[in-house]
Structure 1
């Protein structure tokens, strides 16, 4: 039986896997983003990458901006809508009553047969 302390994906005697095997990493730069709660996030980007204006805070989820004194406002989240709420947006009460009357008439006709 194989020992239970082995690290999966490696073998005994394997050397360290570092930059000598992978090659050098691309040059990077760190950009600071601040959210409305004052949290700072510092993601790193490639020197050639386009830097986004906003970055979501990993601690609280609010959007963060590069201006520490003036962080972006929290996004307005839409409340969850039920199927009935979507139907009510598309149809008026009179439309609903007409559809219900039609369905009831079909049921009555089936019972008579």
Structure 2
């Protein structure tokens, strides 16, 4: 078995091709500042849409761009509750009728036992 072992080559995805003639995509670095004082850079493609916030690599807080560019505030939709979704499908008189039917069923089931 020792005769068939691969010597000097690690198992995994390694390539022995050289980088001669390979054109890398154009890149740009963007700096970010963390609220805790951490400063780091992230590399993006020149064609990428640049984010205004990025998660800090050290503490996980959201960091803002060092160049001061701020993003647009997102309009947050109000949280829809179960009651809101129910009201989209039923009117109050319909709900009162359903309630009366269910109460009648409960009262009838109590009389049976």
- Quick check: which has more Rg, 1 or 2? 2
User: Which structure shows the bigger proportion of residues in strand conformation?
Assistant: 2
Normalising by structure 1, we get a TM-score of: 0.48
Normalising by structure 2, we get a TM-score of: 0.48
